[in-house]
């Protein structure tokens, strides 16, 4: 079977408390983003492609194409997710299949280190895909899949549900939020900057959120700027002033709202119309310090 894997953006990210276990409690809104095929009015195809097929060979074979990944195969989240699912379900995956193993092929296009959850999405989509290959009466429910996903990363449970959600805790406690950005355009700018999650959290100063992000659906998007904040920006922008500059350029070129996603390093702007988004895109394309510019329809 083949599936297309989307990314996410964080709309607001409040770091509210450092926990005794060293992790941080946060509050955020996860919003899925990604286009599965380009069109004349929207040329970007922004997704990873995942294909899982039965194999006559026992065990699992992994094939990776597309963007080069910076970790060893054994540490890749796709590999870990497949192994975790197999450990949990045992041999039931192969009871009615023609093979004794599986081949997992990931074609990678969502940029790494962008704060868009590409690796987490890949892992969760592996869990979802393998689960769908089970007999219907043996499939795991979303809650159990999400608990497995959490063992792979804090962002992973969101991609099990893959719809707009409000997250608290380390991001694993999720509830639906009726936020619909259909009709808007998203411009993602990924600079040639890598911000490690460890370093990003090391620089934050936890504090209570300035607004309840569950209220976002009732606040016009034209009022989000300055109100809906990503707390990582306070510590990361002074170290990487080019990120602040990209955000300011997005706002200056007509974005209704601009922010860093996750712990970075991608910045995004939400535009009311395609014309303004394309104009802004043209200002970033071709710059030596920009790794990628992506125009997506929400």
Contact yes or no for 270/258 (Cβ under 8 A):
yes
User: In degrees to the nearest 10, what's the CA dihedral of 189, 191, 194, 200?
Assistant: -50
Catalytic position from the list 8, 108, 190, 247? 8
Strands 185-191 and 290-297 turn out to be antiparallel
Classify burial at 59, counting beta carbons within 10 Å of its beta carbon; exposed 0-12, middle 13-18, buried 19 or more. exposed
Measured CA to CA, the distance from residue 110 to residue 49 in angstroms comes to 10
Has 107 been annotated as catalytic?
Answer: no
Measured CA to CA, the distance from residue 191 to residue 189 in angstroms comes to 6
Contact yes or no for 85/131 (Cβ under 8 A):
yes
Catalytic position from the list 155, 190, 231, 247? 155
How would you classify residue 113: left for phi > 0, otherwise alpha for psi between -120 and 50, otherwise beta?
left
Shortest CA distance to 263 belongs to which of 210, 189, 195, 215? 195
The string of DSSP codes covering 30-87 is EEEE-BSS-BTTB---B-EEEEEEEESSSEEEEEEEESPPSS-GGG-HHHHHHHHHHH
What are the tokens at 34?
A: 């990604």
Measured CA to CA, the distance from residue 35 to residue 193 in angstroms comes to 24
Shortest CA distance to 268 belongs to which of 259, 276, 280? 259
Has 70 been annotated as catalytic?
Answer: no
What is the set of active-site residues?
8, 155
């Amino acid at each position: 079977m083949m599936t297309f894997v989307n990314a996410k953006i964080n709309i607001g990210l409040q770091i509210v408390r450092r926990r005794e276990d060293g992790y941080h409690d946060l509050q955020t809104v996860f919003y899925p983003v990604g286009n599965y095929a380009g069109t004349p009015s929207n040329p970007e195809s922004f997704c990873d492609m995942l294909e899982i097929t039965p194999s006559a060979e026992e065990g699992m074979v992994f094939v990776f194409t597309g963007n080069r990944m910076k970790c060893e195969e054994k540490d890749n989240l796709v590999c870990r997710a497949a192994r975790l699912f197999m450990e949990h379900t045992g041999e039931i995956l192969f009871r009615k299949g023609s093979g004794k193993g599986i081949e997992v092929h990931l074609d990678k296009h969502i940029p790494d280190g962008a704060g868009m959850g590409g690796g987490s999405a890949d892992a969760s989509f592996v869990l979802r895909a393998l689960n769908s290959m089970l007999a219907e009466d043996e499939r795991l429910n979303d809650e159990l899949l999400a608990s497995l996903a959490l063992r792979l990363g804090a962002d992973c449970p969101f991609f099990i549900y893959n719809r707009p959600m409000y997250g608290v805790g380390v991001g694993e406690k999720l509830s639906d939020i009726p936020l619909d950005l259909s009709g808007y355009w998203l411009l993602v700018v990924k600079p040639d900057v890598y911000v490690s999650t460890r370093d990003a959290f090391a620089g934050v100063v936890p504090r209570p959120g300035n607004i309840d992000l569950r209220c976002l659906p009732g606040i016009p998007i034209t009022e989000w700027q300055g109100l809906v904040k990503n707390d990582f920006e306070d510590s990361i922008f002074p170290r990487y002033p080019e990120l602040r500059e990209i955000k300011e350029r997005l706002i200056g070129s007509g974005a209704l709202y601009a922010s860093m996603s996750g712990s970075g390093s991608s910045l995004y702007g939400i535009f009311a119309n395609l014309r303004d988004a394309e104009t802004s895109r043209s200002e970033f394309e071709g710059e030596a310090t920009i790794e990628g510019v992506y125009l997506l329809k929400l």
